[in-house]
Copies of this chain bind each other. A is one copy, B any other.
Amino acid sequence: MEKRSPKRRELKVSDYVNGVLDRDRAIIARTITLVESNSPRHMEMAQEVLKELMPYTGNSIRIGITGVPGVGKSTLIEAFGTMLCERDHKVAVLAVDPSSNVSRGSILGDKTRMDKLSRNKNAFVRPSPSSGTLGGVARKSRETLLVCEAAGFDVIIVETVGVGQSEITVRSMVDFFLVLMLTGAGDELQGMKKGVMEMADAIFINKADGPNKQAAMLAKTEYNRLLHFLPSATEGWETKAFTVSALTGEGVPEIWKVIQRFLALGKEHGFFEQRRKEQAMNWFDSLIEGQILASFYQNSLVKERLPQFKKKVLTGELTPTLAVTQLLSLYEQQQN
């Protein structure tokens, strides 16, 4: 048998399910690969596996972490995750990075990052699935999250970059959303997508160490002032800013304390359960709508005629309403 690529045994649905429930790392990895596959046969099998795993899901705290490239996400997650592992938590780290299939490489870095955490027996680090669309990445990440929960990981960290649409996607699949910042708040924020601040359940200003510490403290004060003006990301919870240093470890335990306060309050006041229900419904709705619209836009007649109608709208030859009426009437004629 060729050593570098041994022919792997085909697994049955029950093999996947039992392997995940037994927390067999190789099987977990293969289950995620199955979930990430775009082959119809694999997708069907993945759904059968997930259906069996569903009763074992939901028992983790799902934490989203975002921040612009260079903010130190990986280093912080490594420090935070290692601390949790030492406290006997089981930590899975997933990534949502729609750029990861682009040839210029992933924004979130290569697989060698979080080297220490990757080797911890209590941790499981998985890079972002490669996919053409954010929607595809999102579906895969959500289902990977469920696989990890079924495998008994009780802390799931979903990391993403603070650019584009991906942080909205991650916000929609986690309980708690942490935004990582650097000092120089105002300037940095200009590079962030609108509304990211308003999605945060906590802001941590990273690299609060050495000569940078004082500036980080000042930035914390500034952010807290700003947060006072913004509506809460989670009703019933007050978002605050903190400082942290992934380098020295100072402030890392505070992250977990904040999350535990959030959990306690969220379970007491019901916003934790409420958000999960809303997320499940929103996910369901967006899947339906995505598929309905995709089948419309992929229709050959629509593909052919849409650009002409758009052009007529842009030149003012047709009102959008009239253009849509005409296009849909062509589409309906073709359907019947």
Tell me if B229 and A319 are in contact (CB < 8 A): no
Interface residue? A210 (CB, 8 A): no
Choice from B50, B194, B310, B324 contacting A321 with Cβ under 8 Å = B50
State whether A319 and B47 are in contact (beta carbons under 8 Å apart), knowing that A194-B195, A280-B313, A324-B287 are contacts in the complex. Answer: yes
Tell me if B194 and A277 are in contact (CB < 8 A): no
Interface residue? A102 (CB, 8 A): no
Tell me if B296 and A54 are in contact (CB < 8 A): no
Choice from B139, B229, B288, B322 contacting A226 with Cβ under 8 Å = B229
A232 and chain B: residue at smallest CB distance? B190
Question: How many copies of this protein are present in the complex?
Answer: 2
Complex CA gap A142/B322 in Å reads: 13
Interface residue? A301 (CB, 8 A): no
Tell me if B231 and A319 are in contact (CB < 8 A): no
Neighbouring B residues of A314 by C-beta, 8 Å: 277, 280-281
Tell me if A319 and B288 are in contact (CB < 8 A): no
Tell me if A281 and B318 are in contact (CB < 8 A): no
Interface residue? A198 (CB, 8 A): yes
Tell me if A283 and B194 are in contact (CB < 8 A): no
Neighbouring B residues of A192 by C-beta, 8 Å: 231
- Closest Cβ–Cβ distance, residue A56 to chain B (whole Å): 10
Scoring A54, A57, A225 by chain B CB atoms within 10 A of each residue's CB, the highest score goes to: A54
Tell me if A281 and B313 are in contact (CB < 8 A): yes
Neighbouring B residues of A230 by C-beta, 8 Å: 189, 194, 197
Tell me if B284 and A310 are in contact (CB < 8 A): yes
Produce 1/0 per residue, A302-336, CB < 8 A to B: 00000001100110111111111101100000010
Tell me if A322 and B50 are in contact (CB < 8 A): yes
Tell me if B292 and A58 are in contact (CB < 8 A): no
- Closest Cβ–Cβ distance, residue A287 to chain B (whole Å): 4
Interface residue? A143 (CB, 8 A): yes
Tell me if A284 and B313 are in contact (CB < 8 A): yes
State whether A322 and B280 are in contact (beta carbons under 8 Å apart), knowing that A292-B292, A293-B292 are contacts in the complex. Answer: no
Interface residue? A185 (CB, 8 A): yes
- A residues 127-155 near B (Cβ < 8 Å) are 139, 142-143, 146
Interface residue? A51 (CB, 8 A): yes
Complex CA gap A335/B328 in Å reads: 17
Complex CA gap A314/B226 in Å reads: 36
State whether A293 and B289 are in contact (beta carbons under 8 Å apart), knowing that A189-B230, A198-B195, A314-B277 are contacts in the complex. Answer: yes
Interface residue? A291 (CB, 8 A): yes
Tell me if B277 and A319 are in contact (CB < 8 A): no
Interface residue? A228 (CB, 8 A): yes
- Closest Cβ–Cβ distance, residue A66 to chain B (whole Å): 15
State whether A283 and B320 are in contact (beta carbons under 8 Å apart), knowing that A186-B229, A288-B327, A327-B288 are contacts in the complex. Answer: yes
Q: Beyond the given A280-B313, A284-B313, please list 4 additional residue pairs across the A-B interface where CB-CB is below 8 A.
A: A54-B316, A283-B320, A287-B321, A287-B324
Q: List 29 A-B contacts (CB under 8 A).
A: A47-B321, A50-B319, A50-B321, A51-B319, A54-B319, A57-B316, A139-B321, A142-B320, A143-B319, A190-B232, A192-B231, A194-B198, A194-B230, A195-B195, A197-B230, A222-B229, A225-B225, A226-B229, A281-B310, A283-B320, A284-B309, A284-B320, A287-B320, A287-B324, A288-B324, A289-B289, A292-B293, A293-B293, A335-B335
